[in-house]
Structure 1
Amino acid sequence: MRKILLLQPPVRDFYDTAIRLQPIGLCSLKAAVGKYLPACQVEVRDFHQGRGRSTIALPAELAYLRDYYTGPDRSPFCTFSQYSHFGASFEAIAGEVAAARPDLVGISALFTPYYREVLACAAAIKNKINVPIMVGGSHVSCAPQSILAEPCVDYIVRGEGERPLVEFLAAVDRGGELAHVPNLGFRKNGGLIFNPLEANFPLRELPSPDYTDLPVGRYLYGRRPVCFLLTSRGCPHGCAFCSVHLTFGSRYRRRSPASIVREMEERYAAGYRVFDFEDDNLTFDLAAIKELCRLIIERFAGCELELLAMNGISYASLDDECLALMRQAGFTHLNLALVSADQGVLAAVRRPHTVGKFVEVVATAARLGFRIVAHQILGLPSESLASMIETLALLARQPLLIGVSVFYLTPGAPIAVEFPEMTATDFFLSRSTAMAIETEHCRRDQLFTLFVTARILNFLKGLTVANDEAILSELLAGAAPERDRTGLGLSLLATLFAEKQLYAVDRNGRRPVTRFDPELFFRVWKAIGTLTTQDGRRIHLQSRELS
């Protein structure tokens, strides 16, 4: 096989994370084949980012969400309104692939809820051109049968893909036996064959991802080109809701700081100015991240540079020195996963973190000038509603924005053994927007209400407050008319207090958000006491607002 086309497929959902779409995995495969099999021609095509958006019908499995996502809403507390196809159409993808006439097509299946889009791409391509199709990625590692059982897919790869792809191509070229290709899945005599999993090439031997098929200006953070980096693979934490170990294993492997900086220098020379570290556990090796930061400070002194870690940072290993070095090196934001403020819940989901450490890290990071987002998971099976309220209240009191995700089940995650075996529908519903899993502690209306409450709290956290402290009643009384987002938000909030009813706003005026539970909202409100804005100002939420 001399011509390989690797593609990133479109997705379908209520929203898209447009700034985190650079296909680093596919570009890593291209680089590995280029090193070990230079006679092969590999091209990466992204059919997701920058390929359009179209509104499509809400799937039948999500019909229950019409009661929650009720249509356009221009309020700052809005959720979702339209279900969309993000990327090129399946027909357009098939046409482009057929025109390229590759010898092998590889499709990335990163996220379980979008596995249908992967299969739709494969089926459309097969209808246009008779070409073998291989699928890899996190979903394949977690549920390989769900992909390989489909007739439009010929091969799958579990785990990390560089060595399996290289050895597969080499075996095909020499007419060898596929049984010796690690991690490969294929069909034989009507059955599904899954070869044993083996280790990938050592990280120190892998070349940097080859982004040459993707224009530098295609992926932006703000208005500046952003480049994804990986300094490590694997996460030793083993959180019960996470299945990353099935792709990268539990053994933590790290590149040398010097090799990372060399890659950054090459990317900087190519025009990239923002670097996003997409590691699953960037700061696990504290000595290594400190050394990396020192090298970046030395090599990029006086350069325009911004560093991010949008995949999140584990705060368990952070200390004051590391945070200071990260800030000096160019990190501007911290994404921290608190998950829950209940230490018992953290233990139940195998999180090796403490709430006290979280509060310490936030205080230090805020003092250093980081913009912080902290994440909570709503609806964990072991968590009570009271615990979720306390977590949200704790986050409201910190100088950060709140990121909430509704718990969803991932195939292969340790917690999955507590549930019935996942079906194809369960795979499709494996997304936060579906609010698919209700527990004895928390029903869907409550999940929705807490999600919207977090948006209300973030609205307040983003307000410009003239003094170090403010009283909410005075902010509401002095609010400008509904000419802008701030005025509209304060007006809706005042109405919520007066009428015990939240409203959405469209071109026809206001309409009630019927699934929002004001009683639960006010429980959260009372638990907060004083809210801290992202800039560290304090807004006192006086009890008379609720009377």
Structure 2
Amino acid sequence: IRPELPVIIGGHGPSSLPEYFLKAVHPVYPGRPLFSLVVSGEIEGFGELLRPGKADNRFLDLRKLNPKCDIKPMAGESILRAGRRSISITLTRGCPLKCRFCSNHICHGRDFRSSPPGMWVDEVIRINEKYGGTPKIFHLNIEDDNILFMKNDFFSFLDAVRKHYPEVSFSAENGLDYMMLEEQDIIRLKQSGFTRLNLSLAVLSEDSRNKEHRDGDPEKLEKLIHHCHKADLPVTTHFICGLDGDNREDIVKTLRFLDRLPCQTGISNFYPVPGLEGFEDAELFLNRSPSLALGSSVYPWTGALSSAQMITAFRLARWSNFRKKLLEPKEKPFPGSTGADSDTEEELFRKITGSRRLHTILKVGKKGSNRTVVPLSHLDEDMVEGFFR
């Protein structure tokens, strides 16, 4: 519509694989490129750096230019979840930790930087007013998974937001680092309005933790989860499946470890980001479909586990959560246990517990009006047997 307007693309994608986006700089129509400029690194400071001689008219790498700029909190779009407005916000940039599977540094670098904490609440107020004034009830998700580097400022921020919006609720869906949490912090998070905790286990075995440069203490995690249970604060504990060096025995141990705890199991199939250790070659991605870099593709990028084994692990995690849901509420496996939603779910529960084999509910008939329980196929039966042992 306005071909004279420049279209500039940046963010994590162009930072990790600029070659893919540079293809679109070439004209789609004569004289009309899809993108005018591809930018890597953080967008803050972009304006002051966009001067003659700083870019080759196609690509600008802000990471190499080391821009001196202020970091500002950034709130995303408002979405509705269960009738409540939900807003996500990022307060910091960068991370000094060197977890092998994490791509944060590719765009944001290794230096941890924060916007002034006083700006955090201002951004919440700004974005909230943008979407309909100042309602008393909304949900705020904190995107920073390393926000506990600034634990005192973080709790002060939660308190300040609640003063403005007493009915606000909070979450940190990317997961909090449990190594930075203590039991007294659990109570504070609950009182501040957290409705659920997402904790990042990542990997359980010590050998895998060392290989992934990841700190961890399973005994501490177990105590924290039990403390959350006593406080009626639901927990989802996340781990990664398919990392280099994984084996099915360790994955089953991880699943069994989480299955006996009062928490839900969150499982993420590993997918690489260009630039991670072992995945530095851009051609590895340029010659494959981008869909293979989705966790849902369960593509065996590292070769440590097959697709069937990763699917089996995912199904076992789902069964663990389903089993806890169907336990009698008085047993209180985790807050929110509701029992079966239908006779078909009761049948599914009986089939799996009786056969010690995984089944699922298949919808058949017009618009899936009929539901039947069927066994799952193409799984790693040794993993299933090991889990139920």
Cα distance in structure 1, aligned partners of 2:352 and 2:229: 27
Change over 3 Å in CA distance of 1:362–1:495 after alignment to 2: closer
Structure 1 counterpart of 2:311: 448
Q: Which residue pairs with 1:198 in the alignment? A: 66
**Aligned equivalent of 2:103:** 243
Q: Paired residues, what number?
A: 364
1:489 to 348, 352, 374: 348
Distance across 1 between alignment mates of 2:234 and 2:350: 27
Q: 2:39 & 2:60 partners in 1: Cα distance?
A: 11
CA distance in 1, matches of 2:277, 2:373: 44
| Residue 229 of structure 2: aligned partner | 366
Does residue 135 of the first structure (1) align with residue 3 of the second (2)? no
* Equivalent AA in structure 2 for residue 186 of structure 1: N
Relative to structure 1, the CA distance from residue 138 to residue 230 in structure 2 (aligned partners, 3 Å threshold; closer, same or farther) is same
The one of 499, 505, 512 equivalent to 2:362 is 505
The 8 Å contact of residues 224 and 273 in structure 1, kept in 2 or not, is answered as: yes
Show structure 1 runs of 5+ residues with no match. 1-97, 102-128, 172-176, 471-478, 527-547
TM-score, structure 2 as length reference = 0.82
- Compute the RMSD of aligned alpha carbons: 3.0
Q: Say whether the 8 Å CA contact 2:91–2:120 is kept in structure 1.
A: yes
Instruction: Give, in angstroms, the shift of residue 338 of structure 1.
Output: 0.6
Which residue is 2:19 aligned to? 145
**Structure 2 residue identity aligned to 1:162:** E
Give the deviation of 1:421 after TM superposition.
4.1
Deviation at 1:292, TM superposition (A): 2.8
SS of equivalent to 1:405: strand
Greater RCO between the two (CA within 8 Å, min separation 6)? 1
Displacement after TM superposition at 1:506 (Å):
2.5
From 39, 42, 50, the counterpart of 1:160: 42
SS in 2 for 1:237: coil
Cα contact 1:219–1:227 (8 A) shared by 2: yes
Q: Once structures 1 and 2 are overlaid, which stretch shifts more, 269-278 or 417-426?
A: 417-426
The percent identity for this pair of structures is 22
- In 2, the alpha carbon distance for the partners of 1:409 and 1:244 equals 12
AA in 1 matched with 2:108: F
Secondary structure of 1:376's aligned partner: strand
CA contact (8 A) 1:438 1:444 kept: no
Q: Structure 1's 463 and 322: CA in aligned 2 closer, same or farther, altered over 3 A?
A: same
Alpha-carbon shift at residue 275 of structure 1 (Å): 0.8
- Point out where structure 2 has 5 or more consecutive residues left out of the alignment: 27-33, 334-338, 366-371
Q: Given that residues 234 and 281 in structure 1 are in contact (C-alpha distance below 8 angstroms), is that contact kept between their aligned partners in structure 2?
A: no
CA shift in 2, pair 1:244/1:466, >3 Å? closer
* Contact 2:75 2:88 survives alignment (8 Å): no
Q: CA deviation at 1:162?
A: 2.8
Structure 1 position 463, deviation (Å): 2.0
Q: CA deviation at 1:200?
A: 5.2
CA distances 1:4-42 after superposition (whole Å, capped 9, x unpaired): xxxxxxxxxxxxxxxxxxxxxxxxxxxxxxxxxxxxxxx
Paired residues of 2:203 and 2:240 also in contact (CA < 8 A)? yes
Of 164, 182, 190, 1:319 maps to: 182
- In the alignment, the residues of structure 2 paired with residue 315 and residue 380 of structure 1 have an alpha-carbon distance, to the nearest angstrom, of 20
Shift of 1:491: 4.2
Q: Is the partner of 1:382 in helix, strand or coil?
A: coil
Q: Is the 8 A contact 1:276 1:307 kept in 2?
A: yes
Between the aligned partners of 2:270 and 2:36, the Cα distance in structure 1 is: 33
TM-score, normalised with respect to structure 1: 0.60
Q: Give the corresponding residue for 1:275.
A: 140
Assess if the C-alpha contact under 8 Å between 1:296 and 1:329 holds in 2.
no
Report how far residue 459 of structure 1 moved: 0.4
Specify the SS of the correspondent of 1:229.
strand
Establish whether residue 462 from structure 1 lines up as the match of residue 325 from structure 2.
yes
* Distance (Å, rounded) in 2 between the aligned partners of 1:145 and 1:440: 25
Contact 2:14 2:40 in 1 (8 A): yes
Matches within 5 A, 1:70-469: 98=1, 101=2, 129=3, 131-150=5-24, 151=26, 152-165=34-47, 167-168=49-50, 171=51, 177=52, 179-180=53-54, 186-187=57-58, 194=61, 196-199=64-67, 201-203=69-71, 206=72, 209=74, 219-266=79-126, 267=128, 270-271=134-135, 273-296=138-161, 299-300=163-164, 303-416=166-279, 421-425=284-288, 427-437=290-300, 441-468=304-331
Listed one character per residue, the Cα deviations across residues 109-141 of structure 1 (whole Å, up to 9, x for unaligned) are: xxxxxxxxxxxxxxxxxxxx5653221110111
Corresponding residue of 1:475: none
Distance in 2 (alpha carbons) for counterparts of 1:249 and 1:265: 28
Amino acid at match of 2:138: R
Residue 288 of structure 1 deviates from its aligned partner by 2.3
Q: CA deviation at 1:387?
A: 0.9
Equivalent residue of 1:285, what SS?
helix
Quote the Cα distance in structure 2 between the aligned partners of 1:501 and 1:251: 45
Q: Which has the larger radius of gyration?
A: 1
The answer (yes or no) to whether the contact 2:75–2:123 under 8 Å persists in 1 is no
- 1:262-298 deviations in whole A, cap 9, x for unaligned? 333453753361111111312122332233344445x
Q: Which letter does structure 2 place at the counterpart of 1:411? A: P
Q: Deviations over 1:147-169 (max 9, x none)?
A: 1133233211111113214653x
Deviations 1:358-386 (A, max 9, x none): 22322222222221111111111112211
